[in-house]
Chains A and B, each alone.
Chain A
Amino acid sequence: MSGGRVVILGATSAMAEALARLYAAEGANLTLVGRRADRLEEIAADLRARGASGAQVVAADLVDASRAAEQLSAWAAGPLEAVHLFYGVLTDQPRAEADLAYAEATLAVNFTSAALWSLAAANLLESQRRGVLVVVGSVAGDRGRQSNYVYGAAKAGLGNLVQGIAHRLGLRGGEARAVLVRPGFVDTPMTDHLEKGGPLWAKPEAVARAIRKAANRKAPVVYVPWFWQIIMLIIRLLPAPIFHKRPL
């Protein structure tokens, strides 16, 4: 631990909370940002009991990123050790095809606002020449598939942006870095409506452990669990004549 602040955007997600607990056990000082103040307070008290040296709560709607730069530096209140971006909404694909206003709204959450927060964080990290930005993308961003390509497109765009930030910080950010995490299926309340179970589904605690490790390492793109890198490689390499016959 280098002692700086850890800011978590979308702190009420199950993965974010599992990650925050790991930081708390290390004695970190956390700022939790999300929409529901009551739920953030529930988490913050828990993190303090688990060893966090501080846990501040900020109730904010992150979709509005118009003041991202000033808000982020205010929340950091000093040097930043890490900014973790977790928030996002699972898109209802058939609805997004039929209702373009809905599609626009989910793209605004999953891509536009997330991109702006990432850029604001990159500027801060570059100026302090250390710290890490970790953004949660998705394996859905690796190849457009009929079942979830609106969600996937937002995550693909965001992933591209974060890779670009990683490149930029690598050239002129000193010790600062950016990491894109691509989780596979994660057993969280966000996916409670899906049929779960089997070896492809990971627990948020396991994903959080991998994210915590990724925050300390140099690799700019990390699949969680690791085997998704192989699965997605195969999916990307499938020739279109075969791919288009599969309802993936």
Chain B
Amino acid sequence: MRAVHRVARPHWRDELAPAVRAAAGDPGRGLAVGLSRSYGDSGLNPDGALVVMSGLDRVYAFDVETGVVRADAGLSLDALIRLALPRGWFPPVLPGTRFVTLGGAVANDVHGKNHHRAGTFGLHVRRLGLLRTDGTQHELAPGDPLFAATIGGLGLTGVIAWVELQLAPVSGAWLDSEDLIFHSLDAFFPLADDSEEGHAYTVAWLDCAVGGRALGRGVFTRGNPSPDPDRSLHGPPRIVVPFDAPAWLLNPLTVRAHNLARFTAKAMRRGRWRTHYDPFFFPLDAIGSWNRIYGRPGFFQYQCVLPTDAARPGVAELLSQITRSGQGSFLAVLKTFGALDSPGLLSFPMKGATLALDFPNRGSETLALLGRLDDVVREAGGRLYPAKDGRISAAMFEAGYPRLPEFARHVDPGLSSGFWRRVAP
């Protein structure tokens, strides 16, 4: 998505408060953003002001004995890994890209492949600094109502200035990982249940381009931190997509061919091996500006969670809607969430299964499909992930987030976003 904004880029702590004040005074109000990896409009404030936080990326203190780190909200997880791993610490929760700021990780209460063990990112936040547009500064801790509103609060409760995080101890940079093929959804769920006990990380990739008996086939990956003490860090991206690809590049034929090739490749080398954290957690970070392969029209991400009881029939219905539409998803990821409560009023994860998909944007045809998927999710008692949404209705959002009215009371009147203007109660 693209939108026009008035942008401030504070680089020093003393520049933040004036930038926030100026943004809040904008007729379109203000919004703090990090590295802009959210897919939808929760990180956009069209015709309003933005405060880009990524220039505020300094660490206040890092205690190598306890693994507690306090840093400016603009510090990226990429930088956090670089400073923590050599000292034997690692971010407790990692989303699918390391190009996320601490503030963004808090504002979206991100989750990772270890959700069944570690819960969401917000569970590991000990304290945070929040700057409201009325000029007040708040130091918040778990238990504070404004803390609960800010975790997963999409940056709307104030500008997150700094975050204090509890890191997790780690022996090295490597994981012992295993790939298993499953041929149907019926096989996925028992595999996920069996794997959660003995594995810190689980995730599955689904081939959404096939229907019929092969519906729901995929590759299940599970892993544990390796005892290997080697602590090699990741390097810069190896490949960069230099410009927008032509829009026709991703069509049903190429998507099906890609998925078949990927499935076959995975099936051939299934088994156990030792893998570095970088390809394990961040496969897409190896390709700079990968989103350009979707061309100028872009694409839609779609990520929902369905509660446990409804998960299996719900995911099956979503997949069959997708195969029937002929709009194969390039990347479909299925994962079970554990029972750990999310700390935020608007946190996305709940116990159940989450399915993440992306679709090349083909206009009304794609929107119609996503509308049908919404109906399935709503029927199943599930909800969508705001970080990946640019189109759902206020009613759909309200149905998925019962604590929305409570959250709305904490919203800072000087802040807004495209997403919030669409879904605010």
Residues of A within 8 A of B (CB): 14, 25, 38-39, 42-43, 45-46, 49-51, 189, 192
Most interface-central of A45, A46, A189 (chain B CB within 10 A): A46
Q: Do B9 and A49 touch (CB < 8 A)?
A: no
- Other-chain residue from A25, A45, A189 in contact with B11 (beta carbon distance below 8 A): A189
Given contacts A38-B14, A42-B12, A189-B11, contact A51 B58 (CB under 8 A): no
Q: Pick from B22-30, B59-67, B265-273, B383-391 the stretch touching chain A.
A: B59-67
Q: Do B69 and A49 touch (CB < 8 A)?
A: yes
Given contacts A39-B12, A51-B83, A189-B9, 4 further A-B contacts (CB under 8 A): A42-B58, A43-B58, A49-B83, A189-B11
Quick check: is B82 within 8 A (CB to CB) of the other chain?
Answer: yes
Q: Do B60 and A45 touch (CB < 8 A)?
A: yes
Q: Do B59 and A51 touch (CB < 8 A)?
A: no
Q: Do A45 and B58 touch (CB < 8 A)?
A: yes
Quick check: is B372 within 8 A (CB to CB) of the other chain?
Answer: no
- Residue interface mask B51-63, A partner, CB < 8 A = 1: 0000100111110
Q: Do B82 and A45 touch (CB < 8 A)?
A: no
Which residues of the partner chain A approach B69 to less than 8 Å between Cβ atoms?
Answer: 49
Q: Do B62 and A49 touch (CB < 8 A)?
A: yes
Within 67-119 of B, Cβ neighbours of A (below 8 Å) are at 69, 71, 82-83, 86-87
- Residue interface mask B7-20, A partner, CB < 8 A = 1: 00101111000000
* Docked CA distance A42–B82 (Å): 19
* Docked CA distance A43–B87 (Å): 20
Which residues of the partner chain A approach B14 to less than 8 Å between Cβ atoms?
Answer: 38-39
- Closest Cβ of chain A to B7, distance in Å, is 10
Q: Do A25 and B82 touch (CB < 8 A)?
A: yes
* Docked CA distance A38–B15 (Å): 12
Chain A residue nearest to B70 (CB atoms) is A49
- Other-chain residue from B13, B60, B71, B86 in contact with A51 (beta carbon distance below 8 A): B86
Which residues of the partner chain B approach A50 to less than 8 Å between Cβ atoms?
Answer: 59, 82-83
Interface of chain B: mostly helix, strand, loop or mixed:
mixed
Closest 5 A-B residue pairs measured CB to CB? A49-B59, A46-B58, A49-B62, A46-B59, A50-B83
* Docked CA distance A233–B62 (Å): 46
* Docked CA distance A46–B60 (Å): 6
11 sample A-B contacts, Cβ–Cβ < 8 Å, listed by A number: A14-B11, A25-B86, A42-B58, A45-B60, A46-B59, A46-B60, A49-B62, A49-B83, A51-B83, A51-B86, A189-B11
Which residues of the partner chain A approach B59 to less than 8 Å between Cβ atoms?
Answer: 45-46, 49-50
Which residues of the partner chain A approach B83 to less than 8 Å between Cβ atoms?
Answer: 25, 49-51
* Docked CA distance A115–B11 (Å): 29
Chain B residue nearest to A27 (CB atoms) is B86
Which residues of the partner chain A approach B71 to less than 8 Å between Cβ atoms?
Answer: 49
Chain B residue nearest to A188 (CB atoms) is B11
Which residues of the partner chain B approach A38 to less than 8 Å between Cβ atoms?
Answer: 14
* Docked CA distance A76–B82 (Å): 28
Which residues of the partner chain A approach B82 to less than 8 Å between Cβ atoms?
Answer: 25, 50
Which residues of the partner chain B approach A49 to less than 8 Å between Cβ atoms?
Answer: 59-62, 69, 71, 83
Which residues of the partner chain A approach B60 to less than 8 Å between Cβ atoms?
Answer: 45-46, 49
Which residues of the partner chain B approach A45 to less than 8 Å between Cβ atoms?
Answer: 58-61
- Closest Cβ of chain B to A110, distance in Å, is 21
- Closest Cβ of chain A to B344, distance in Å, is 27
Most interface-central of B13, B58, B59, B71 (chain A CB within 10 A): B58
* Docked CA distance A43–B62 (Å): 14
Which residues of the partner chain A approach B62 to less than 8 Å between Cβ atoms?
Answer: 49
* Docked CA distance A189–B83 (Å): 24
Most interface-central of B9, B11, B14, B82 (chain A CB within 10 A): B11
* Docked CA distance A51–B60 (Å): 13
- Closest Cβ of chain A to B238, distance in Å, is 15
* Docked CA distance A192–B11 (Å): 11
* Docked CA distance A192–B86 (Å): 34
Which residues of the partner chain A approach B12 to less than 8 Å between Cβ atoms?
Answer: 39, 42
* Docked CA distance A189–B12 (Å): 11
Chain A residue nearest to B61 (CB atoms) is A49
Which residues of the partner chain A approach B13 to less than 8 Å between Cβ atoms?
Answer: 42
Within 40-60 of B, Cβ neighbours of A (below 8 Å) are at 55, 58-60
Chain B residue nearest to A45 (CB atoms) is B60
Q: Do A192 and B9 touch (CB < 8 A)?
A: yes
- Closest Cβ of chain B to A71, distance in Å, is 25
* Docked CA distance A54–B220 (Å): 46
* Docked CA distance A50–B60 (Å): 10
- Closest Cβ of chain B to A116, distance in Å, is 28
Chain A residue nearest to B58 (CB atoms) is A46
Chain A residue nearest to B233 (CB atoms) is A25
* Docked CA distance A46–B86 (Å): 16
Chain A residue nearest to B86 (CB atoms) is A51
Which residues of the partner chain B approach A192 to less than 8 Å between Cβ atoms?
Answer: 9
* Docked CA distance A14–B12 (Å): 11
* Docked CA distance A185–B303 (Å): 40
* Docked CA distance A42–B60 (Å): 8
* Docked CA distance A189–B60 (Å): 22
Which residues of the partner chain A approach B58 to less than 8 Å between Cβ atoms?
Answer: 42-43, 45-46
* Docked CA distance A24–B235 (Å): 17
* Docked CA distance A38–B55 (Å): 16
- Closest Cβ of chain A to B187, distance in Å, is 45
Which residues of the partner chain A approach B11 to less than 8 Å between Cβ atoms?
Answer: 14, 189
Chain A residue nearest to B60 (CB atoms) is A45
* Docked CA distance A61–B58 (Å): 24
Chain A residue nearest to B64 (CB atoms) is A49
* Docked CA distance A189–B15 (Å): 12
Most interface-central of B12, B61, B71, B87 (chain A CB within 10 A): B12
* Docked CA distance A46–B83 (Å): 10
